[in-house]
Homo-oligomer: A and B are copies of this chain.
Amino acid sequence: MVEETKRSTTTTPAAPAPAATRGRIDKRRAILAAAEAVFTREGYTLAGIDAIAAEAGVSKPTIYNHLGGKENLFRTVVVEAAIESSGRILAALEVFPTDAEELHPRLTAIAHRVVQCQAGEKGWALQRLVYAEAARFPDLYDTIREGGTVRIVDALAGRLARLAHGGHLDIDDPVTAANQFLALISGDLPTLTALGTRPVDDAALHRAVTAGVTTFLRAFTPRAQSAGPPAPGTGEGAPASGTLTAPPRR
């Protein structure tokens, strides 16, 4: 990156087109990108400003000019990453079934995309960072939560409430149900990814997500439904929705 500047001392920053108010704003982007990479790779304390500067192709004081000290840099990186990540998850929830048609496979597809966002490199790295520095920056979790998690749960709860209102799901408390849905589909994530230190086994992940959706639907599918609503469809290991069609009552 910025290979042009490699020219020994004759740096050609190439502040090109914009005659706007500021000329060097792309440096900020580079710094933030590099900081995210280094922070997620090394953690807060091990990450050195010098390393970030090197990776950004920028010198150390530049970082102090654009963003304050290390702490502010960290906060900025984490918050931006959280916003982006939760945005992706919200986008995945955008297309949500509104009826019982093919509910199981469609929910599974959505769940899988949500989990992919969490299991991805950036998602887990962010998670680890926040966990790691929760003692040092206690407010970060609140910030992320209010800006990300809460919105995700709310969105999901709204979708679930609509399904419940239509009689397709038997849900009392949509927020609780949303939390449980998320817990069911991503509960195995730490194990499967070894806290994000290993690449995910996609097959196992898919199996776990499918099983989570199956259990969720087994819990919240209305009992009185006539035709089997949670179509077996992607029958994997655990669905066993055969039992869903209610065996003889004792």
* A residues in contact (CB < 8 Å) with B: 41-43, 45-46, 127-128, 130-136, 138, 141-142, 145, 149, 165-167, 170, 172-173, 176-177, 179-180, 182-184, 186-188, 191, 194-197, 208, 211-212, 215-216, 218-220, 222-226, 237-238, 240, 243, 246-250
A-B contact pairs, 21 of them (CB 8 A): A43-B132, A43-B135, A43-B136, A141-B195, A145-B191, A166-B250, A170-B246, A172-B237, A172-B243, A176-B237, A177-B215, A180-B212, A183-B184, A183-B187, A183-B188, A184-B184, A215-B220, A222-B246, A224-B246, A224-B249, A226-B250
Residue of A135, A136, A170, A248 most packed against chain B (CB within 10 A): A135
A172 near B238 with CB under 8 A, answer yes
Residue of A43, A134, A182 most packed against chain B (CB within 10 A): A134
User: Could you tell me the distance between the alpha carbons of A184 and B127 in the complex, rounded to whole angstroms?
Assistant: 20
User: Could you tell me the distance between the alpha carbons of A172 and B210 in the complex, rounded to whole angstroms?
Assistant: 14
- A77 → chain B closest CB, angstroms: 16
A194 near B247 with CB under 8 A, answer no
- A57 → chain B closest CB, angstroms: 24
Contact of A247 among B149, B170, B182 (CB under 8 A): B170
User: Could you tell me the distance between the alpha carbons of A207 and B219 in the complex, rounded to whole angstroms?
Assistant: 18
A128 near B138 with CB under 8 A, answer no
Query: Who on chain B is nearest to A240 by CB?
Result: B172
Query: Who on chain B is nearest to A195 by CB?
Result: B134
